[in-house]
Amino acid sequence: MSVMNVGFDAKRLYNNFTGLGNHSRTTIDILTEFFPENAYFLYTPKIARGRKESLKRYLSMEACRTIMPQGVLKGSLWRTYGLPADIRRDGVDLFHGLSNELPVGIRRSGVPSVVTIHDVAFHTFPDMYHWIDRQMYDWKWAYAVRNADRVIAISECTKRDIMRYYDVDADKIDVVYQPVQPRYYTPMAKEDATKRLEFSNLQLSSDFMLYVGSVNSRKNLLGVVKAMEMLPHDMLIPLVVIGSGRGYMKEVRQYVAEHGLERYVIFPDGKVDDDTLQALYACARVFVYPSFYEGFGLPVVEALLSRCPVVTSNVSSLPEAGGAYSQQADPADVGDIASKIEKVLADDALSSTMREKGYEYAVRTFHPRVLAERLMSVYKAALEM
């Protein structure tokens, strides 16, 4: 089949503006760019209020059609139970659950399906989730992987986790890495990035380290702060933290205050816009992300595409995201994290190699055309089953 009608669960695309929503939008971006001949049906129970302007491109894309509930079932009931009838009515050839779920009854619809599983963090870090949430997620994930014709994992690590926790045969799972936002495939020039930061309200010195991500125990920001204390004093430069959190954030801030590190750990006030974030990646001496567990590790790829040296973990999916030219530390070993940071800061030649080789790896491995083609091959495999 050369041209197809592909349906998507687009709730996150239209209503979530962090991880899963970004993944949904970048997936549609690369498919419409490289396979514009297909028709893409975006099913959503609602569209976020006040966001229609930023979402306008998806509502008006020539290749896309946005569909909302018209019958008795509304909201999550329609998304869970009503979608199979609607996708059959609309002549959809294949349905893709973009965020770990498939509607109930998808097999009875006769429409082949694919589901993307991002991670199983509620299994690997259960303390971060309420009991009822873990039960709900487990049921949804299990139903999805059991009923999908093909399962997409966003990393080899996630593939292993799916096999471990849901007893899915390896041959049913395809690894398709997560696309990053298009802006990162065109690196910001260092001069432009420097000017951008000069006009921001961050008031940064020319040398700084960077952390980007949610501030929770799994991401291990406290490990980074403790590692900073072990650096030689003449190498201790500020760490800019871009991300939000609750209880763990308070724990980190309390540690910073108790150890007199306020001038070295910077938490910018307010939200940092996309241009400023890209400038931070481009100007940072090193990006530090020693997470204990990630489905993929998107900020690592954003850093690599910005030609920023990366220190990350040697566990989970982080070696895949970072590649051979990132420094990989044991996230449970503060001394190892400190050693890897010091290695980058002390060796300009190594840092330069990491910038260029890391960038080449990221472009080669995570280019949107490569990922779009992989997605399309999964769709065709599902249709041929």
Per-residue pLDDT tens digits of the chain, which is 385 residues long: 578 999 999 999 999 888 899 999 999 999 999 999 999 999 999 999 877 777 989 999 999 999 999 888 899 999 999 999 999 999 999 999 999 999 999 999 999 999 999 999 999 989 889 999 999 999 999 999 999 999 999 999 999 999 999 999 999 999 999 989 889 999 899 999 999 998 888 888 889 999 999 999 999 999 999 999 999 999 999 999 999 999 999 999 999 999 999 999 999 988 889 999 999 999 999 999 999 999 899 999 999 999 999 999 999 999 999 999 999 999 999 999 999 999 999 999 999 999 999 999 999 999 999 999 999 999 999 999 7
Confidence at residue 203, expressed as pLDDT on a 0 to 100 scale: 80
Contact 101, 85 (CB under 8 A): no
Confidence at residue 385, expressed as pLDDT on a 0 to 100 scale: 79
Sheet hosting strand 327-329, strand order edge to edge: 265-266, 239-242, 209-212, 286-289, 310-313, 327-329
Domains and CATH numbers, the chain: 5-179+367-383 (3.40.50.2000), 182-365 (3.40.50.2000)
Question: Which has the closest alpha carbon to 103: 167, 28, 43, 171?
Answer: 43
For residue 8 the two structure tokens come to 């998507």
Looking at this protein, which amino acid is placed at residue 344? V
What's the chain's average pLDDT? 94
Q: Give per-residue burial for 91-118: e unless 16+ CB within 10 Å, then b.
A: ebbbbbbbbbbbbbebeebebbbbbbbb
Confidence at residue 50, expressed as pLDDT on a 0 to 100 scale: 77
> pLDDT per residue over 38-63, tens digit each?
999 999 999 998 777 779 899 999 99
Provide the angle, in degrees to the nearest 10, between the axes of the packed helices 190-198 and 274-283: 120
Looking at this protein, which amino acid is placed at residue 379? Y
> pLDDT per residue over 213-272, tens digit each?
999 999 999 999 999 999 999 999 999 999 999 999 999 999 999 999 999 999 998 888
For residue 232 the two structure tokens come to 């030689």
Confidence at residue 53, expressed as pLDDT on a 0 to 100 scale: 77
- pTM score, two decimals? 0.91
Contact 292, 125 (CB under 8 A): yes
Confidence at residue 1, expressed as pLDDT on a 0 to 100 scale: 52
For residue 63 the two structure tokens come to 């290749």
Q: Which helix (H) or strand (E) holds 67?
A: strand 64-67
